[in-house]
Amino acid sequence: RYVFKHPRPPKPDAPRIYEAHVGMSGEEPEVSTYREFADNVLPRIRANNYNTVQLMAIMEHSYYASFGYHVTNFFAVSSRSGTPEDLKYLVDKAHSLGLRVLMDVVHSHASNNVTDGLNGYDVGQNTHESYFHTGDRGYHKLWDSRLFNYANWEVLRFLLSNLRYWMDEFMFDGFRFDGVTSMLYHHHGINKGFTGNYKEYFSLDTDVDAIVYMMLANHLMHKLLPEATIVAEDV
């Protein structure tokens, strides 16, 4: 079991974030590993005066071309690039260089796979039959994926414990939440433009349950790690 040797670097006043996909970071036409990234890429990131690295595609996903956004197992490290211990080595190496590490977390949707994903799981709450909304509301028509039912207590427990797992077990310094626009609005931002009108942001299109989840997630992360960096992708 890997034992971390270096403390988390202090939170910078001005984060300079380098976004990276470990598997695509090498020079050879193959999937790069966590250890290769740690030894070969992190020093270059530090040398270019970045103070934070944001890692994509860390959660296990079946479709590699999804860039990690069709998650099948939220508590598993993507095995294409190595083991959980290898990922810990990467994070520890980053900390030794003074780099904070953010994880690209996908809580806006999930793979629609049944065999190796959450789709079809019953969490046993009567009208809330699964982790996802039923009917058309449970599917994202552009992403071909399932949409979480944030009103379900078991979904909240699942997602919040997921954040704590990655922060405690792997020493991540924060998260970048992917696809937050899709979470905040029932229309998921599809064919919608935002002009700044107040009603575009707070109306019957607003998914209040998703907003509550984001509030809980932020509260939990800063309770566990006051210096956590939390980024939301709202486009």
Q: Would you give the DSSP letter of residue 27?
A: S
pLDDT digits (tens, 9 = 90+) for 65-119: 998 999 999 999 999 999 999 999 999 999 999 999 999 999 999 999 988 888 8
The residue to which tokens 């959980």 are assigned: 84
| 175: containing domain | 17-232
Query: Does residue 64 belong to any structural domain of this protein?
Result: yes
| 69 assigned to some structural domain | yes
Between CA 105 and CA 179 the distance in angstroms is 10
- Three-class SS state of 179: coil
User: Facing residues of 145 across strands?
Assistant: 111, 140
Instruction: Tell me, yes or no, if 27 is annotated catalytic.
Output: no
pTM value? 0.94
Of 167, 23, 42, 25, the closest CA to residue 95 belongs to 42
- Flag whether 21 is in a domain: yes
Percent of the chain with pLDDT over 70: 97
Active-site entry in 92, 104, 178, 207: 178
Q: Is 205 a catalytic residue?
A: no
The answer to whether position 91 is within a domain reads yes
Domain assignment of residue 31, yes or no: yes
Distance CA 155, CA 149 (A): 7
pLDDT of 122 reads: 65
**Token pair of 229, please?**
């960096």
pLDDT in tens, 158-206: 999 999 999 999 999 999 999 999 999 999 999 888 888 888 888 999 9
Q: How many domains does the chain have?
A: 1
Residue pLDDT, tens place only, 20-77: 999 999 999 999 999 999 999 999 999 999 999 999 999 999 989 998 999 999 999 9
Question: Model confidence over 159-170: pLDDT tens digits?
Answer: 999 999 999 999
- Residue 4 within any structural domain of the chain: no
Residue 8 maps to a domain? no
Cα–Cα distance, 152 to 107 (Å, whole number): 14
158 in helix, strand or coil? Answer: helix
Residues 124-154 pLDDT 10s? 545 456 799 988 999 999 999 999 999 999 9
* Inside any domain, residue 11: no
**4, HSE (Cβ side, Cα atoms, 13 Å):** 17
Q: What is the CATH number of the domain that holds 73?
A: 3.20.20.80
